[in-house]
Structure 1
Amino acid sequence: MTSKTVHHTQADVIIVGGGVAGLSAAVALGRSRRSVVLVDAGDPRNAPAAHSHNYLTRDGESPLELIRLGRDEARHYGANIIEGTAQSATRTESGFEVTSADGSVVRGRRLLVTTGLTDVIPDIPGLADRWGRDVLHCPYCHGWEVRDQAIGIIGGAMSGHQAQMWRQLTENVTVFTYTATEPSPDELTRMRARGIAIVEEEITRVDVENDAIVGVTLANGRQVRLDALVVGPNFTSRSDILASLGIGTTEMVMNDHVLGTYIEADPVGATSVPGVWVAGNVSAPMDTVVAAAAAGVKAGAAINGDLIEEDVRVAVGLPARLPK
């Protein structure tokens, strides 16, 4: 039996999650001379994608390369990055204690959670294998790369909106409306007016040749030729560690349909539990990479300001405490 590893030195901030939000926060805090321990499981949401976009000066960079570069930068400013899966957090007299799956424990005065989300996509044979390559969800993330190609949209709560967004990029758009959430009559009129094809038959499989989508096969046996597919995934926040502190999720609702869950927070990421912040997709499912990075910087600055207030209390002879 092995004993758990306890990191006895208490950091100023524990960050759980090492994507661009967490790493950006680590850099902002490190540049303010705050000690940071970052715990990361190494499974970023966008790992299947070959490129990320709309990140100024880094357009087209691999998501995994962005993380590698971000880790180097965070370490340059003193961050201690620990590989592991944080499972639970508890509140202590001086801050928080986070326990990972291997039993190791880290302690810090404040806690920032940037664990992101999980995309839940339709259960269609062949679809998941192409996720992040030619099964797409965001026109700003992937649209330019499939411009002027044949795009199929698997209908959902936002299919009318999605159809018009992707129609901006190509004249060849087909919407498959067999799902439970069908477009409204007004949406159908708007789509037809822009030459968007509408197919009611169910998709039974995604057809792939030479490691690329070539179309879909319908329940009636007909094949529709396509170069890429668009889905509207359900966004499920990775929030187990927050649940251990009593922070629950909120349903994300658009057009009267639940699209997923997220963690509610104020504009700088402070949650309902004093001393706990969130940033990135765990609290803002629609944020792109650059927006998640910006959220990490904002949260890091807010946490630094909160710690300064506590440091001032101690300097004037008052007891250190988490805000109520």
Structure 2
Amino acid sequence: MSDTKSPRRADEAGSKVAGAAEKVYDAVVIGAGAGGLNAALVLARARCTVAVVDGGRPRNASAAHIRGFLSRDGMPPADLLEAGRAELTGYGADIFDNHIDRIAPGFFVHLSGGAALRARRIVVATGLRDQLPDLPGVRERWGRDLLHCPFCHGYEVRDQPLGVLGTHPDSVDQALLLVQWSADVVHFPHTRPLSDQDRERLTARGVRTVEGEIKRLAVTDDRLQGVELTDGRVVPRSAAFVFPRMVPNDSLLTELGCAKDERGVVTTDGSGRTSVYGVWAVGNVVDPRAQVVTAAGMGAAAAFALTHDLVDEDIDRALEAHRAAAHAVPAPQGAAV
């Protein structure tokens, strides 16, 4: 039986923490991206008491628009998050713009300002951070004309001269995929040797390979002009793609003891339930390739399962109280009360 089916309790042995709020939330959601906000929305509509804590910069903050999200295609990411927050407050959810120091036993969520929130359940939606190659121009152009996801940005640069910076093991596959959007794709292996098999695949797909170490991204008038190599050559490109190293922001999950797979990614079941009792995780923190719409769906799935979990717990408590009352010894008639 897997860990996710035999969860270990992390909320046991908790005692009251000095400075903790008296209110006990049904759920505290950590992270106010699409996954966290949608989880909180579904929970609030299920009449759960919900708090959302967020103190970070969204992963897609540098992107101008959300893509591939039905009815929200083209919306700026900040507008989606603002709308989500407004919807949540309309349902009575509390939102705290703060960082979290730690989660103590008993699900006391300690905020950086010294306060603590008490939760029955936890949803972690803290996303990930993209580690970009250390090349001049990369960070400055990121999210503008240096892109990552063809499904997010490929249509906007369709039929344009595209480049792929070969700084990641998956860069070849990225270049092969991009031909779906443009017939003019150049792969720059940089310092990573190409295997004969990859070279043949690129050639067969019509992807041109330009050998040489990348010096920088060539930019003029705040627009990408091409990729400059250390030998002085500049290969004109209108947009470039790079595969970053994706690092989950999972320190809270690690501290709680959540199990991880061989890649070092926290494992969950289909609802986002982790190996630790009462803890769910959704979005990029457990699925690096999840898009905005995917993360939102993961948040909803977690909220459904979490609500059922709370109801089951409430039923057990109600049954216990009911049976205790039924078996209580009645006081003798005439006895002082």
Contact 2:64 2:76 (C-alpha < 8 Å) held by counterparts: yes
Q: CA deviation at 1:171?
A: 1.1
Contact 2:20 2:108 (C-alpha < 8 Å) held by counterparts: no
> Which of residues 22, 26, 37 is equivalent to 2:36?
22
Taking only aligned residues, the RMSD between alpha carbons, in angstroms, comes to 1.6
How many angstroms apart in 1 are the aligned matches of 2:146 and 2:40? 32
Larger Rg: 2
Contact 1:117 1:238 (C-alpha < 8 Å) held by counterparts: yes
Which letter maps to 1:273?
Answer: V
Q: CA deviation at 1:238?
A: 0.3
How many angstroms apart in 1 are the aligned matches of 2:199 and 2:153? 25
Q: CA deviation at 1:42?
A: 3.8
> Which of residues 181, 184, 196 is equivalent to 1:185?
196
Q: CA deviation at 1:208?
A: 1.2
> Which of residues 278, 285, 290 is equivalent to 1:287?
290
Task: Compute the TM-score of the two structures, normalised by the length of structure 2.
Answer: 0.87
User: What are the ranges of 5 or more consecutive residues in structure 1 without an aligned counterpart?
Assistant: 253-260, 320-324
Match of 2:183 in 1: 171
Q: CA deviation at 1:128?
A: 0.7
> Which of residues 33, 57, 82 is equivalent to 2:96?
82
| 1:298 and 2:310 are equivalent in the alignment | no
Task: After superposition, give the CA deviation of every residue in 1:287-319 in whole Å (9 maximum; x if it has no partner).
Answer: 111000000000011100100000101111269
Match of 1:157 in 2: 169
Contact 1:89 1:242 (C-alpha < 8 Å) held by counterparts: no
Task: After superposition, give the CA deviation of every residue in 1:112-161 in whole Å (9 maximum; x if it has no partner).
Answer: 00000001111101101111111111111100011111111011211221
Q: CA deviation at 1:87?
A: 2.3
Match of 2:3 in 1: none
Task: After superposition, give the CA deviation of every residue in 1:25-62 in whole Å (9 maximum; x if it has no partner).
Answer: 01110110000000001411000100010000000111
Match of 1:224 in 2: 235
| 1:316 and 2:315 are equivalent in the alignment | no
Task: After superposition, give the CA deviation of every residue in 1:181-205 in whole Å (9 maximum; x if it has no partner).
Answer: x443222112112321101201111
Q: How many equivalent residue pairs?
A: 304
Contact 2:27 2:123 (C-alpha < 8 Å) held by counterparts: yes
Contact 1:22 1:114 (C-alpha < 8 Å) held by counterparts: yes
> Which of residues 261, 273, 276 is equivalent to 1:273?
276
Matches within 5 A, 1:34-183: 34-92=48-106, 96-155=107-166, 156-180=168-192, 182-183=193-194
Q: Which runs of 4+ in 1 moved over 6 A?
A: none
Q: CA deviation at 1:81?
A: 0.5
How many angstroms apart in 2 are the aligned matches of 1:214 and 1:28? 45
The percent of aligned pairs where both chains have the same amino acid is 41
The change in CA–CA distance for 1:305 and 1:195 in structure 2 (over 3 A counts) is: same
| SS of residue matched to 1:244 | helix
Which letter maps to 1:275?
Answer: G
Q: CA deviation at 1:250?
A: 4.1
How many angstroms apart in 2 are the aligned matches of 1:318 and 1:138? 54
Task: Compute the TM-score of the two structures, normalised by the length of structure 1.
Answer: 0.90
The change in CA–CA distance for 1:54 and 1:5 in structure 2 (over 3 A counts) is: farther
Which letter maps to 2:181?
Answer: L
How many angstroms apart in 2 are the aligned matches of 1:5 and 1:223? 60
Contact 1:87 1:240 (C-alpha < 8 Å) held by counterparts: no
User: What are the ranges of 5 or more consecutive residues in structure 2 without an aligned counterpart?
Assistant: 1-17, 323-337
| SS of residue matched to 2:269 | coil
